[in-house]
Structure 1
Amino acid sequence: MKSDMEKILESDLLERYLIGTTSPEENIYTEDCISRYPEVKRKYTELEEDLENYTRSFAKPAPEKVKRNVIHAIRRKKRSVPRFANMAAVIAAVFCTSTIVLLYQNKLLLQKNGSVNEEIAALKSDILNTNSKLDDVKNQFLILNNPKTRKYILQGNRRAKNLKTVAYIDPVEKLSMINVVSLPELPEEQVFQMWAEVNGEMISLGILENTQNKLLSIPFKEEAKSYNITIEPKGGNINATEENTVASIYLR
């Protein structure tokens, strides 16, 4: 389970807190994390500096027209107090408008940054999925082309006559794969689960699904004495229900 520090650093909560788009509950949570975790405080400080630098990069001199209007307003007033009051009002209005524009631009930038981060996360996920598929293809090539690979056919008993699976064991590369050729229909609340017998104990190798003759990786068990398939409750079981065994084969 991820800690609060990991959660807040991997989310966009600090960015949203900085631009004021968080809820009161999120504000309390964020401020608590900033005070408790130096890493979070450091990240928040970096974001503040980035925002300040970005704001400065957009700072521009006041337009000439605005300058002329300010000077004109000063010259029209002869009294010192009203003159300075008007000048302050004009400057304040210009500053306020500029600040609002910059804050809006900053908000858009941070929102865009959040979208970019989401795209990067999605891209990383795609890369991991692609690498996983490449590993599966590589393992399939190794296991099918190794002359020392052993092939075991598991066929169902009278309780699952149409069950047929083929297991491939490569003791050299320590790879195990299974090809589910056919599986009979089971009630919705039941599944087929595969087990390896290791030192007299049944170790789960996962739930079987009808994958239409596709090779799937299963955990390699070096000391396995047999492979077994049982009928278990939906979601699988921690311990094998041996009286519900529908297929078994002893390994050479």
Structure 2
Amino acid sequence: MMEKKKILEEGLLELYLTGELSEEQASMVEEALDQDTALREQFDALEADFERMGMEQAIAPPPAVKARIKDSVQPNLIRKTNWTPLSIAAGFALIFGLSSFWLYEKWQNAESNLETLQTQTDRLQRQVNNLESEFRLTSNRLESINNPDVIPLVLYGNQKAPNGKAVAYVNHKNHLVLVNPKGLPVLPNDKTYQMWSDVDGEMISMGTLPTDTELVSLKYIENAESLNITIEPAGGSDHPNVEQLVSFVTL
């Protein structure tokens, strides 16, 4: 006996209903319908749907046509016409149209599912690429921190930043400065931390310190005597606000 799964997946019920199966295939489908109640119910429902759709799409003839046909019939002549071949042909035409519509809907759904899957795949690929980029960046920074030429410097907060702390990693050989500002208190959106190098009494900006980042790469300044952190307007300043100095460390 033909398996139910094969019948459903290959659309054999629809082909059987439209008479498009070979005798052998039709016989196997009939045998499955006789032995599988659920499959028979599904076939009956499909057949009923086709009939209902055929009735819904039926078009009534105009009254004038109906009158002409009636007038052409002799009152004393009873003619019996065999409409069976025409009915079968019309039924097959209707079923073929419905089957084509069903297959078109299936194709449209498959196209839509393919587009959705492609969109999801592209989004996942972008996420993977971002993760790989972040991983490489973090690995490079950790490698820079663990370099034996790196000098770690802790900048403790003063009364303006109680319990605040930042750690600077300075590599004079490679001219590299990385700072972990996560220990500093969070500022309002219109303020930011900024680090400065003191060179012969002149404060030179090294860059701003966003507190939502683990490691911030700053500009290395030659011959710096100390590192200083101030609170500045968002975006940073050209000159430090020394009254808002929150931490410093001597090199």
Task: Say which one has the larger Rg.
Answer: 2
Structure 1 length-normalised TM: 0.50
Normalised by the size of structure 2, how large is the TM-score?
0.50
